[in-house]
Structure 1
Amino acid sequence: MKNLFTITLMVIALTFSTEAMAQKFSGLDKSPADIASYPSDYKVSEKLVRITYSRPQLKGRSISELAPAGKVWRTGANEAPEITFYKDATVGGKSVSAGTYSLFTIPGKSEWTVILNKNLNQWGAYSYQESADVVRVPASVSKGSESLEAFSIAYKDADNGAHMVLGWGTTRVSLPISF
């Protein structure tokens, strides 16, 4: 009887200790993280630039509600995107040293201002400091034929480099980058 009691007590203790030690995982992020790099070909291991960003969804809202014109926007969701240049580059006509920067934008009707900022690990645009800007450059705006529900970043080959293209809804923002 004493052994049965001891075994029962041990089984109960193990059951509760397993629950106490179990890892709790949060649900899926509503704005999942993504990475875009150039060259985009996955077979090319030496990348020139890579950006890590989160992808908000429109969900029936307008871009102007989520990224208001004339205001600094984190260019995605959650943390401000971080863009790494693996070698010195020219971004929108301005020299940028190899390194990692936060990416912000100021949306506009015919052009957006793209901002590379030296402060990393920033949540949203709440902690953005203009004094930490490395460059501010204009980027052209056009209209795409396909509407994108999720904010997306891709690279398009161009002379001496690429254009980083931000797409959301039918808005396309193109920033020239050369190496």
Structure 2
Amino acid sequence: MEYYLVLAKSKIKIMKNLLTLTTLIITMVCFTETNAQKFDGLDKSPMDMATYPSSYKEPVKVVRVTYSRPQLKGRSLSQLAPNGKVWRTGANEAPEITFYKDVNFGGKPVKAGTYALFTIPGEKEWTFILNSNLNQWGAYSYDKAADVVRVNGSVSTNGESLDAFSIAFDEANGGATMLMGWDKARASLPITF
């Protein structure tokens, strides 16, 4: 009889463990389902970054621009970045440019730091603007009084059309040239350090 009592207790213990395990599994499944994260779709103007130097072999960067890349998608450049008007220089938030050391930005000294980057497109030149107000959505709240520097850069046209707005840096004597391209327009500005 003692044998049957031990066997019964053993079966009860196994059943309790199975019940506990089953309850735990069901709870985890339900909890995971109810707390699953929902993500928005992909941004139509994805964020990008351009740095100088751009090589991963160079651990110390001089400049970095974080910006969103709008696309023409059949629209004209003059619709999206009209000549003579302050433009956010990309999409979504105004881009931020960080200088990791003091530089000469298009002929004017700029202290190391992070700035909002705006431009004013033009047919013969673009105005490049560094502004101290960060985290601005577009140019809607642009405040000229917060400008740190305004300089003019050259603009040219290229036979190849770029559908997505792009920023890059090319090595130049004593620094780099910041290049912006969209549609057939190519704007450039020297940065020395």
Could you state the TM-score of these two structures normalised by the residue count of structure 2? 0.85
Deviation at 1:17, TM superposition (A): 3.6
Q: Using the aligned pairs only, state the percent identity.
A: 67
Residues 62-121 of structure 1 show CA distances to partners (whole Å, capped at 9, x for unaligned) of 111001111111000000000000100001100000000000001111001100001111
| CA distance in structure 2 between the aligned counterparts of 1:159 and 1:9, rounded to whole angstroms | 70
| CA distance in structure 2 between the aligned counterparts of 1:19 and 1:113, rounded to whole angstroms | 52
* Equivalent position of 1:80 in the other structure: 94
Please identify which structure carries the higher helix content. 2
| CA distance in structure 1 between the aligned counterparts of 2:144 and 2:128, rounded to whole angstroms | 12
1:131 to 137, 145, 160: 145
User: Which residue identity does 1:67 align to in structure 2?
Assistant: A
- 1:130-149 alignment to 2 at 5 Å? 130-149=144-163
Runs (4 or more) in structure 1 with deviation over 6 Å come to: 7-13
Q: Aligned pair count?
A: 177
Question: Computing the radius of gyration over CA atoms, which structure comes out larger, 1 or 2?
Answer: 2
SS in 1 for 2:145: helix
* Equivalent position of 2:118 in the other structure: 104
| CA distance in structure 2 between the aligned counterparts of 1:85 and 1:10, rounded to whole angstroms | 53
Residue 75 of structure 2 is aligned to residue 67 of structure 1 = no
SS in 1 for 2:187: strand
Structure 1 gaps, min length 5: none
| CA distance in structure 2 between the aligned counterparts of 1:10 and 1:132, rounded to whole angstroms | 58
| CA distance in structure 1 between the aligned counterparts of 2:22 and 2:176, rounded to whole angstroms | 67
- 1:6-155 alignment to 2 at 5 Å? 16-155=30-169
Residue 174 of structure 2 is aligned to residue 172 of structure 1 = no
Alpha-carbon RMSD across the aligned residues, in angstroms, is 2.0
